[in-house]
Structure 1
């Protein structure tokens, strides 16, 4: 999906992609959820849905704006700091203890980010790449909040419900922007096809995330996302002819290593969420 979204951002712009993908995503998720006539979620669960939808909207905008300016592999590598940030947030909001391993892992991962940024500076890729990197790191911060919240949400609701209310929240937020920014141009049939593909992958991904996070700890599952670097490097090279520098590989390795070191300190899974009836 990241490769498809990068192509769409470059072709029709981040605003148009965000608006039209949110419309298609809502239609797809609604067609799966609404015919089942399931009970409306409680107020407490609905608050979780809205909060995560808000975070996802900001996270996606920053990330997709960033990958329009940063090579895909570098972008994915920078997002790898999210599990470590999630670890810190878990300590802050869930009162989990941060040990020496967590601190050492944080230092190693931060050094990895500096290595990637240094590689960008040496390559003289321009100010757009630097701004894109800042946006991606901001997206990683949002994603860290998302990781913590996703586990609670998955314990409170089923995947179809989570996906529908996430898409509904995202759509409402983008519709609220239209009076100020205007309605984007209607894409060509060719790009509409790819918008539908991106929305379908996003919908499927949201349901898979919800299913997975209901069955395992957030701290454990977050580490599995490191495989994304291999896909990003391959697709960036094949589709966009983006070379992968040694700085990016070294920085990604340091970030992954730091997160693995930190993850070895056992993190307790959040408790069941109390849902009002």
Structure 2
């Protein structure tokens, strides 16, 4: 693996988040039109075809046992995480949905502490309370704008997705250390699409011709984003790359306004600021080594 500076890794990760945020906007539109399940089914299948074509054309080696275990675990976890997130995103403004997902790093702190049997520090408790208060502020703003019960259920689904993403954060760094970006992107799409295919006989419907460009575009953006993030996380510690996640709110605000005519509510801005502040404070804790995480898992 070639060395890279933290700044370079951060820049690459930023591009990955930008690609992922654009994919989120495409997927929100598709989820509204055809449902979250079908949008994810066809996007991940398209991603698996794109990734497989490149993977086999380059004659990439098959993953070893440890890499395959992490691919399978993260792929199944991501399938559940994605269906919850995009089902919720179809019911709430894009910026609000992304802001709610920011609680994942805070949950990850408790998850790592539980896995590693660490004592939860006062600072971790404070940051959790601050982040939770930010969530309440966003939900309060949602109630004031009278988005309806569907939006509230969507917000709860996104929070549940964030809980799964917390564990995904730990797996992401582990996966990047044992597999190359192309392998990660291909097997993530393959395993996720396999999970969604289980329900295909009951839930699947064919996409229409006008929906195909958005599906292919979303698959391509997801594939590129996975490769960029995998490259970055293989070259820098998660604690240094965590702040890049928050640039997604900027992209979500811009795309939500342009594509869906969704203004960013003041309460969403305040709540997002509280959650981001809590996460930044939390990342100042003594970092946990990957070796310790792997031993705990």
Please indicate, yes or no, whether the TM-score normalized by the shorter chain is above 0.5: yes
Per the alignment, residue 274 of structure 2 pairs with 254
Measure the CA separation in 2 of the matches of 1:161 and 1:273: 22
Aligned with 1:166 (options 188, 203, 225): 188
SS in 1 for 2:199: helix
Measure the CA separation in 1 of the matches of 2:286 and 2:240: 9
Using the TM superposition, name which of 133-142 and 215-224 deviates more.
215-224
Measure the CA separation in 2 of the matches of 1:60 and 1:182: 16
Task: Say if 1:38 and 1:273 are closer, same or farther in 2 by CA, change over 3 A.
Answer: farther
Task: Say if 1:196 and 1:91 are closer, same or farther in 2 by CA, change over 3 A.
Answer: same
Per the alignment, residue 133 of structure 2 pairs with 111
For structure 2, list consecutive stretches of 5 or more residues without a partner in the other structure: 1-22
Per the alignment, residue 259 of structure 2 pairs with 239
Q: 1:203-255 CA distances to partner (integer Å, 9 max, x unpaired)?
A: 00111111111112223322211111111111111111112111101100110
**Within 5 Å, which residues of 2 pair with 1:178-189?**
178-179=200-201, 181-184=202-205, 186-189=206-209
Q: 1:139-184 CA distances to partner (integer Å, 9 max, x unpaired)?
A: 11111111001111111111111111111111111111113x2431
User: CA shift at 1:37, angstroms?
Assistant: 2.2
How many residues are treated as equivalent by the alignment? 272
Residue 215 of structure 1 pairs with residue 230 of structure 2: no
User: CA shift at 1:260, angstroms?
Assistant: 1.0
SS in 1 for 2:198: helix
User: CA shift at 1:121, angstroms?
Assistant: 1.3
Please say if residues 116 and 292 of structure 2, whose CA atoms lie closer than 8 Å, have aligned partners that are also in contact. Answer: no
**Within 5 Å, which residues of 2 pair with 1:72-87?**
72-87=94-109
Q: 1:110-153 CA distances to partner (integer Å, 9 max, x unpaired)?
A: 10001111111122210000000000001111111110011111
User: CA shift at 1:273, angstroms?
Assistant: 9.2
Aligned-residue CA RMSD (Å): 1.6
Per the alignment, residue 50 of structure 1 pairs with 72
Q: What TM-score, normalized to structure 2?
A: 0.87
Measure the CA separation in 1 of the matches of 2:280 and 2:94: 23
Q: What TM-score, normalized to structure 1?
A: 0.94
Per the alignment, residue 134 of structure 1 pairs with 156
Please say if residues 123 and 282 of structure 2, whose CA atoms lie closer than 8 Å, have aligned partners that are also in contact. Answer: yes
Please say if residues 87 and 219 of structure 1, whose CA atoms lie closer than 8 Å, have aligned partners that are also in contact. Answer: no
Per the alignment, residue 66 of structure 1 pairs with 88
Per the alignment, residue 268 of structure 1 pairs with 288
Q: 1:31-52 CA distances to partner (integer Å, 9 max, x unpaired)?
A: 1111222332222221110000
